[in-house]
Chains A and B, each alone.
Chain A
């Protein structure tokens, strides 16, 4: 069945460091891919999405490219800020209306 595997955390970075959180997926068909962010005490918010191969999703300085050949959707940011501290979830939405989430990666950015 469909699934998502993402890099385990926690991840701790200094402010202005480069961030990569790896995400790979398994799916039949042509899923949409998402990154969600969860700030402490809150629900999940959509960060970015890509609906087909080679699409690049971007938002708030974060980027991820839908790579069909490597079945990946890695999240990157060139310079993280303290306010980026949160839990990040990779997710897959298939054509059957079902969603599959990774286990989440906790990011802490220190000044």
Chain B
């Protein structure tokens, strides 16, 4: 089974802190994604990556950056956390060749910024 692991289930941070959310997948998928999920808004794509060291902006990249130094790991960075970034963050991976483009999700990180 595909496993996508997010490093934390719950995080509490203060305004202005730099926050790292880590995501690791174990199936050699080339594509990785970061979404945030908010009530009534569904999933919104923040950033995605098609390969190591590659990144593309999604629909709401402002206030976020990402890093993909290794194929299995995709990090989301909040350079200076703000209260409006309090949300559920979901990481996903996919592969057109290995997984018929199905997205596999981690369990999510619920971030609270105080």
Contacts and interface: CB of A to CB of B under 8 A. Distances in A.
A43 B101 contact: no
Interface in A58-111: 89, 91, 93, 97, 99, 101-104
Contact of A103 (B40, B100, B103): B40
Contacts of B101: 32, 93, 97
Contact of B42 (A34, A45, A51, A104): A104
Secondary structure of the A side of the interface? strand
B25 interface: no
Interface string B81-96: 0000000001010101
Interface in B35-61: 40-43, 45, 50
Contacts, number: 50
A42 B94 contact: no
Nearest to B43: A101
A103 B42 contact: yes
A43 B42 contact: no
Interface stretch (B13-21, B67-75, B105-113): B105-113
Contacts of B100: 32, 51
Interface of A: 32, 34, 36, 41-46, 49, 51, 89, 91, 93, 97, 99, 101-104
18 contacts: A41-B108, A42-B108, A43-B108, A44-B90, A44-B92, A44-B105, A45-B105, A89-B43, A93-B103, A97-B31, A97-B94, A97-B101, A99-B103, A102-B42, A103-B41, A103-B42, A104-B42, A104-B43
